[in-house]
């Protein structure tokens, strides 16, 4: 599903955020991306989502060589991904329902189908009763769950999450983890960037550890 070979990222400031990264994530696999703050976790996820482009090396995602995806093709490519952002990126002048529906509206899905899918996604994150609320009236954890619902509503084949449990207490964090595990069991490939060692221990999945932009440890695939 994801294949990085000798990928480096140097920002316009001249800072090397990622250096010579090599790894492969199989279809349906689940893995965590960890490391200190500033290690390059978010940068790596941004390369996968084509928010940033690699400076060097080759990245293949979902059988697509990212270097060959043109500007015009980026939107279609992104529709195959579900992304949970570190800062949620919710729209505060729209209801929870409309926020979650956005990826489907953008893809031109039919009205009735959208309603069904959005409610199913909200049910998974236990927010069905908040569908008419505005994100600003929700707690941090609830907002995070809205952004998860938006990431999964399009049934993506690859789910990326950047600190999806950053603002949650242990119990909520575990509930969220269970949601990701559930998607993983249904065949979705999942890559989660996190600091949360408790989460790593509980999930017992593959861990890729970044240190100052280098891949310091990769404990390989574990079932």
Ligand X SMILES: Nc1ncnc2c1ncn2[C@@H]1O[C@H](COP(=O)(O)OP(=O)(O)OP(=O)(O)O)[C@@H](O)[C@H]1O
Chain contacts with another protein (rule: CB under 8 A): 49, 51, 72, 75-79, 83, 85, 89-91, 102-103, 105-108, 110-111, 150, 154
CB atoms under 10 Å from CB of 172, counted, come to: 17
Binder of Mg ion out of 31, 40, 42, 215 (CB under 5 A): 42
Residue 150 interacts, among another protein, ligand X, Mg ion, none and using kind-specific CB cut-offs from 5 to 8 Å, with another protein
* Interhelix angle 140-152/96-106, nearest 10 degrees: 20
Residue 112: CB minimum distance to another protein, A: 12
Say which entry of Mg ion, another protein, ligand X, none residue 13 contacts (CB below 5 to 8 A, set by partner kind).
Answer: ligand X
Partner interacting with residue 54 (select from ligand X, Mg ion, another protein, none; CB below 5-8 Å by kind): none
The minimum distance between CB 144 and Mg ion, in angstroms, equals 14
Residue 78 or 145 with smaller CB distance to another protein: 78
Q: Which is nearer to ligand X, 35 or 57 (CB)?
A: 35
CA of residue 79 relative to chain centroid, distance: 13
Strand-strand pairing, 64-65 and 56-61: antiparallel
Give min distance, CB of 160 to another protein, in A: 11
Distances (CA, A) of 16 to 41, 77, 155, 214: 13, 26, 34, 10
206: number of CA atoms within 13 Å, CB side?
A: 19
CB of 125 to Mg ion, least distance (A): 22
Provide the minimum distance between the beta carbon of 163 and ligand X in the complex, in angstroms, as a whole number.
7
Nearer to ligand X, 10 or 134 (CB): 10
Of 96 and 200, which CB lies nearer to ligand X in the complex structure?
Answer: 200
Q: For residues 7 and 60, give the distance between their C-alpha atoms in angstroms, rounded to a whole number.
A: 11
Tokens 């929700």 correspond to: 138
Beta bridge partners of 6: none
Q: Which residues bind ligand X (CB under 6 A)?
A: 11, 13, 15, 17, 35, 37-43, 86
Please tell me whether residue 186 adopts helix, strand or coil conformation: coil
- Is-contact 152 176, C-beta < 8 A? no
CA distance 96 to 154: 16
- In Å, the largest CA–CA distance within the chain is 49
CB 153 within 8 A of CB 126: no
Q: By C-beta, is 46 or 205 nearer to ligand X? A: 46
Instruction: In angstroms, give the least distance from the CB of 36 to Mg ion.
Output: 11
Nearer CB in complex with ligand X: 87/182: 87
For Mg ion, the binding residues (CB under 5 A) are 42
């Amino acid at each position: 599903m994801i294949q990085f070979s000798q990928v480096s990222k140097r920002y316009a400031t001249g800072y090397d955020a990622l250096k010579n990264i090599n790894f492969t994530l199989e279809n349906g696999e689940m893995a965590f991306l960890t490391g200190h703050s500033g290690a390059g976790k978010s940068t790596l996820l941004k390369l996968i989502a084509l928010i940033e482009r690699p400076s060097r090396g080759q990245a293949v995602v979902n059988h697509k060589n990212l270097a060959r995806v043109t500007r015009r093709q980026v939107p279609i490519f992104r529709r195959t991904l579900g992304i949970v952002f570190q800062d949620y990126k919710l729209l505060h002048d729209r209801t929870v329902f409309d926020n979650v529906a956005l990826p489907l509206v953008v893809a031109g899905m039919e009205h009735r189908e959208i309603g069904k899918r959005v409610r199913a996604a909200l049910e998974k994150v236990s927010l069905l009763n908040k569908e008419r609320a505005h994100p600003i009236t929700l707690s941090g954890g609830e907002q995070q769950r809205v952004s998860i619902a938006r990431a999964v509503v399009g049934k993506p084949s690859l789910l990326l999450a950047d600190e999806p449990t950053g603002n949650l207490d242990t119990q909520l964090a575990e509930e969220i983890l269970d949601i990701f595990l559930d998607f993983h069991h249904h065949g979705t490939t999942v890559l989660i960037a996190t600091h949360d060692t408790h989460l790593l221990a509980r999930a017992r999945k593959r861990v890729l550890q970044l240190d100052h932009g280098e891949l310091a440890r990769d404990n390989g695939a574990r079932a």
